[in-house]
Copies of this chain bind each other. A is one copy, B any other.
């Protein structure tokens, strides 16, 4: 299809498509003539992925590049590829607290207690968790991050379900897409459900109280 049709069927502007090609996020179309290229379903799929990540996840172009590179490095295992994708996405959740030794220890203890022994000892997400724990401790919230025991089995069940949804009969790139989409889109789904549940439980506890 022409670039104008590609634009129409994905909702991504022609200018943005050209930009993604220049940045290496999208392979060029098959050249038909000097100013005419042909695009196929692969391009449609990639553009839809990029669009969701940009719109829903607010993932910037730098992180999109890291994601695409992770997919294309054929030496890595699916799991390593996904790990790199998570690291690329992670920079976006900017929790601007500096993790210290104490909160990092707490973070490691939580991961251990959850039984997540496959998490890399140097996974950047451990520092991210430590930074969030720092914010919780400084915020005056009553929640004790060490008492996260309530969360762990619930989060574990959610994550196991989500990873289980990935269709492993698909090719590597499709699996990667599904995992990244799941990370971003199902994360928003989860937070939306949680806000609705907050409204419900807050009504049960506080309704009518001035």
Which A residues fall within an 8 A CB radius of B?
45, 48, 52, 55-56, 58, 74, 77-79, 82-83, 86, 90, 93-96, 110-111, 114-120, 123, 125-126, 128-129, 132-133, 135-136, 138-143, 145, 148, 150-152, 154-168, 172, 177-179, 181-183, 185-210
Once the chains bind, are A118 and B207 in contact (CB under 8 Å)?
Answer: yes
- A200: contacting residue among B48, B116, B207, CB under 8 A: B116
12 contacts between A and B (CB under 8 A): A52-B135, A79-B206, A79-B208, A93-B188, A111-B196, A120-B199, A132-B185, A140-B177, A143-B165, A155-B197, A168-B205, A190-B191
In the complex, besides A77-B206, A129-B189, A163-B205, 12 extra interface pairs with C-beta distance below 8 angstroms are A48-B139, A79-B205, A125-B195, A128-B192, A140-B177, A140-B178, A142-B165, A143-B162, A151-B189, A154-B154, A162-B198, A168-B205
